[in-house]
Amino acid sequence: MAFWSEDFKTGLADPKRKFRFSVSFSNIATAEGGPLLWYAKTAAKPGFTISETMHEYLNHKFYYPGRTEWDTVDITVVDPGDPDMSATLSDIVRQAGYAPPTDAFDLESMAKSGATSALGNVIISQLDESGNPIETWTLWNAFVTALKFGDLDYSSDELSEITITLRYDWARLETASDSKHAVAVTPRNQFFTP
């Protein structure tokens, strides 16, 4: 019952907090040259759904687990101007293979290899009070499926935002206690590996 303790001097950990997180895309450099998106505003953690198959026999129904499908992840960032995220994200989509056609012989199209390498590794970390990662999600083979560049409004003085939707094949979770037990979520539905 550490969360409800009255004595935090004993070294009990705080519960995880929503505002302590970081997001990084290895192929998007910040003004300081690193991959950390210091202008991230919100980030959804990965999640998945397991389909089910039903078999009927007489007046009974039996259910069996099916395939695992990972949900998309939405990340909202503030457009800091430097780097210009609108231009940077548009460039990532171009590197993935998309370009408006210039004539009838423009046959280039998107490819997964270009889409995943343009974005690079996507890492979402939840942090403790000292800034150390206590939960790190790595999205494998992530690519952009939607970009929403926000809206403009004369009556608002809020910061401009961009919402990025990512699709990925699977996610890997590493926790602060991985030194005791490696925790991995893989396509083979293995959750704990020694």
pLDDT by residue (tens digit) across 38-49?
888 999 999 999
Assign residue 9 a region: left if phi > 0, alpha if psi is -120 to 50, beta otherwise?
alpha
In the Cβ-directed half-sphere of 3, how many Cα atoms lie within 13 Å?
3
The better pLDDT of the pair 25, 81 is held by 25
SS3 128: coil
Q: How far is CA 146 from CA 75, 82, 89, 173, in A?
A: 11, 22, 10, 24
The better pLDDT of the pair 15, 162 is held by 162
Dihedrals phi, psi of 133, to nearest 5 degrees: -70, 130
Q: What is the Cα 121 distance to its own chain's centre?
A: 10
Q: How confident is the model at residue 178 (pLDDT cuts 50, 70, 90)?
A: low
Per-residue pLDDT, averaged over 2-19, amounts to: 70
Average confidence score pLDDT of the chain: 83
d(C-alpha 22, C-alpha 43), whole Å: 9
Q: List the alpha helices (DSSP H) in the chain.
A: 85-95, 112-119
How large a percentage of the chain has pLDDT more than 70?
A: 81
Nearest one of 124, 87, 94 to 109, comparing CA atoms: 94
Residue 162's CB is within 10 A of a number of other CB atoms, namely 19
Domains and CATH numbers, the chain: 16-99+106-193 (2.30.110.20)
**Could you report the per-residue pLDDT of 108-122, keeping only the tens digit for each?**
888 888 888 888 899
In the block, which residue shows the tokens 């007489």? 58
Quote the pLDDT of residue 98: 83
pTM: 0.79
